[in-house]
Chain A
Amino acid sequence: MFEQFKTDLRWAGVRQNLVAWVFLLPFVFVYVAFLIYPFCRGVWISLHDWNLLAVTFNPDAKTFIGLDNYLRLFWGTEMTWRAWARPVLQGLCVLAALFCVWRYRTGELRWSTLWQCLMALLLLMFFFGWAPGEGGRWFDRRFWPTVGNTVFFVAMVVPAITLISLLLATALNRETRGAAFLRTLFFLSQVLSVTVVTLIWQMMFSARQGLLANVVREFGGVPLSWLAEPGFAMAAIVIATVWWSIGIAMVLFLAGLQDIPQEMQEAAKLDRANSVQAFWYIILPNLKRTITLVVILQIILHFQVFGQAHLMTQGGPNDQTQVLVRYIYQTAFRDSDLGIASAMAVFLFVIMSVFSAVQFMVSREDEQ
């Protein structure tokens, strides 16, 4: 009798598992086949000398070369290490380290976090010290400048979007018709596709037909060909991107503002605090977590920039707006060098994972 009961129980367990797998199988199959497997295959391709056309016609036309693709991207000949090879970047690292120490001193950073930050910065400083010495050169002259452009783009776009959307969210966090209308207006551009956005802004910036040029001409100025002008092309892409994507950040800030206790704002009003004081002493401190999350999120999002650079400037002038994903795309589908392109994609993934991990850690702290 007891044996019978145990068998029944086991059958119930098996049944439960079977039912669960009926629900799971469709997704898990698609997930493994079209995300996990391709991802692993990407890493595998990055270890090969793999020409797209050659391998298409003859599957054996690839050779395993280990980490050579990564070496060809990251390294050069006659590489030497000097303590201050890139003063600007390394200076920024030192500043960041000082900032971390200061935050630790004011009690806003835990000892372990400070330690991790300092180690990471030290590592970064060490990497920045390497450069091709005399008579040497990078194996791939375009890779690091492309990474630099991408970082520069992110460094322009993220603070601009964060600042603008924070101010807008604070101003529009009220239940009037006007505020609702303006929220709709500022969010609207977010739902447009990248090709529509670039279509609009390509025309806006055009020196012959653009709206900006027309206005400048009206006042007797000489219009600028933004997209072809070194120094202005990147600015044009940044402006278009900011116009396109303040929506997400604004919505997240609005959500964060809703969580600030109403009493605090009332108290500020009773104390006759003006809006600037209220913003500085009540809203900013309460939104710290949200701001951190929005910044990280934007970094991840905009590091993947592709369409704007591909359609508005084609990476020009002089490669100034060449960004990482566009370089990957070109290396793979114009130069047919899938090995190198995949190595770059893995590099992109690693950078994104670092920021994803930070995001995960911050939101975990949030829950505690």
Chain B
Amino acid sequence: MKTMENRRLALLYTMLALPAFIWLVPTLWMVSLSLQPNALLARTTSNTFWGLIPYPLTLDNYLNLLAHGQVHVWFFNSLVVALGMTIGVLVLSTTAGYAFARLNFVGKKTLLVLVLLGLMIPEQAVFIPLYTLFSELGWHNSHHGLIIPRLAVPIGVFIMIQFFRGVTRDVEEAARIDGANTFQIFWHVMLPLARPAMMTVAILTFLYAWNDYLWPLVSAQRTEHFTITLGLASLQSNFAQSEGLGSVMASGVIASLPVVALFLIFQRYVVRAVAVGGSKG
């Protein structure tokens, strides 16, 4: 019986080898190309084993990116925008989520419905009016101009409401009997409990911020204000002027490093965040 089971598993993995290979090759190729000399790539991209093995190997592409070009500026912009957005969303979604889940106030139900309806408004439906609004405010070409629009999306609030509703009231009551006020309860009792949910919100927001393309494309017009995602797009559209295929691929690898690292370290949270984010807007 055991060997039967093993044989079935072996058969399964053999069948999965081909799709796994297909899914792996494109990424592998990008990394491999980024490690080959530009001069070689100008001649051929299939040097060793269709270019999948980086031989001759060089780190010049990466060193060049660090030495000049704007990739490090874009990387820094992305980092500031993604971290700023993450912190902002965390603050707004925990406070509002707590209020909706646990506090009483007039018109709570109506307001909750109004907020959840916002989940139905896609970014593409508001980016034009946001553009005119931010023009009037003079907020284009800035970090906060890229951060603020996402702070208004209620997905984080939605996740936090779900979480806070699940916390038993006993903890809160106990703290209240000990004389803690609402703010102390929120800060000292609820937030420490909410760490897993906050992690989900944070990762969801960071991934979104890092990978967002449409709004930065509209809002950041000067290259020194590009995010890495946007900068990479600009490199693609003028391949000819760029320093070479290897360098472009190296930028692609650098642009992916933070999100891939995040994914590999916090896989469980990332998977949940992406699933929640995908299913609720």
Which residues of A are interface residues toward B (Cβ below 8 A)? 16-17, 19-21, 23-24, 26-28, 30-31, 33-39, 41-42, 45, 52, 55-56, 164, 168, 171-172, 176, 178, 182, 184-196, 198-204, 209-211, 214-215, 218, 243, 247-248, 251-252, 255, 293, 297, 301, 304, 306-307, 311, 325, 328-329, 332-333, 338, 341-342, 345-346, 348-349, 352-353, 356
Distance in angstroms between the alpha carbons of A26 and B87 in the assembled complex: 13
Interface presence of B98 (CB below 8 A): yes
Distance in angstroms between the alpha carbons of A115 and B179 in the assembled complex: 58
Which residues from 234 to 248 on chain B have a C-beta closer than 8 Å to any C-beta of chain A?
A: 236-237, 245, 248
Distance in angstroms between the alpha carbons of A208 and B214 in the assembled complex: 29
Interface presence of B125 (CB below 8 A): yes
User: Which one of B26-34, B53-61, B64-72, B167-175 contacts A?
Assistant: B26-34
Name the contact of A193 in the complex, choosing from B106, B119, B255 (C-beta under 8 A).
Answer: B255
Q: Closest CB of chain B to A164's CB: distance in Å? A: 8
A195 adjacent to B255 (CB under 8 Å): yes
A/B interface sample: 18 pairs, CB < 8 A: A17-B106, A30-B148, A30-B152, A38-B130, A45-B132, A52-B132, A176-B9, A178-B13, A185-B24, A193-B229, A195-B236, A199-B248, A209-B41, A210-B45, A214-B46, A252-B278, A252-B279, A304-B123
B263 adjacent to A188 (CB under 8 Å): yes
A31 adjacent to B236 (CB under 8 Å): no
Task: Tell me which residues across on chain B come within 8 A of A186, comparing CB atoms.
Answer: 19-20, 23
Distance in angstroms between the alpha carbons of A86 and B96 in the assembled complex: 50
Distance in angstroms between the alpha carbons of A154 and B135 in the assembled complex: 34
Q: A23-B98, A171-B12, A345-B128 are in contact. Are A31 and B120 (CB under 8 A)?
A: no
A26 adjacent to B259 (CB under 8 Å): no
Name the contact of A200 in the complex, choosing from B15, B30, B93 (C-beta under 8 A).
Answer: B30
Q: A28-B111, A31-B154, A211-B29 are in contact. Are A325 and B96 (CB under 8 A)?
A: no
Task: Tell me which residues across on chain A come within 8 A of B22, comparing CB atoms.
Answer: 243
A200 adjacent to B95 (CB under 8 Å): no
Chain A residue with Cβ nearest B13: A178
Most buried by B among A19, A38, A190: A38
Name the contact of B213 in the complex, choosing from A21, A184, A306 (C-beta under 8 A).
Answer: A306
Q: A171-B12, A196-B255, A199-B249 are in contact. Are A45 and B129 (CB under 8 A)?
A: yes
Q: How large is the interface on B (under 10, 10 to 19, 20 to 34, 35 or more residues)?
A: 35 or more
Task: Tell me which residues across on chain B come within 8 A of A56, comparing CB atoms.
Answer: 135
Supplied contacts A35-B153, A195-B229, 17 more A-B pairs, CB within 8 Å? A24-B100, A24-B105, A26-B95, A35-B118, A39-B121, A41-B132, A171-B15, A186-B19, A191-B211, A193-B256, A196-B255, A198-B236, A204-B26, A211-B45, A252-B275, A307-B233, A329-B217
Interface presence of B166 (CB below 8 A): no
Task: Tell me which residues across on chain A come within 8 A of B45, comparing CB atoms.
Answer: 203, 209-211, 214
Distance in angstroms between the alpha carbons of A168 and B19 in the assembled complex: 9
Q: Mark B92-114, 1 if CB is under 8 A from A, else 0.
A: 11011011100111100001000
Q: Closest CB of chain A to B138's CB: distance in Å? A: 12
Interface presence of B124 (CB below 8 A): yes
Interface presence of B262 (CB below 8 A): yes
A307 adjacent to B270 (CB under 8 Å): no
Task: Tell me which residues across on chain B come within 8 A of A304, comparing CB atoms.
Answer: 122-124
Task: Tell me which residues across on chain A come within 8 A of B80, comparing CB atoms.
Answer: none
A42 adjacent to B232 (CB under 8 Å): no
Most buried by A among B33, B45, B267: B45
Distance in angstroms between the alpha carbons of A353 and B106 in the assembled complex: 28
Task: Tell me which residues across on chain A come within 8 A of B9, comparing CB atoms.
Answer: 176, 178
Distance in angstroms between the alpha carbons of A325 and B126 in the assembled complex: 12
Distance in angstroms between the alpha carbons of A177 and B98 in the assembled complex: 39
B99 adjacent to A23 (CB under 8 Å): yes
Task: Tell me which residues across on chain A come within 8 A of B16, comparing CB atoms.
Answer: 168, 171-172, 182
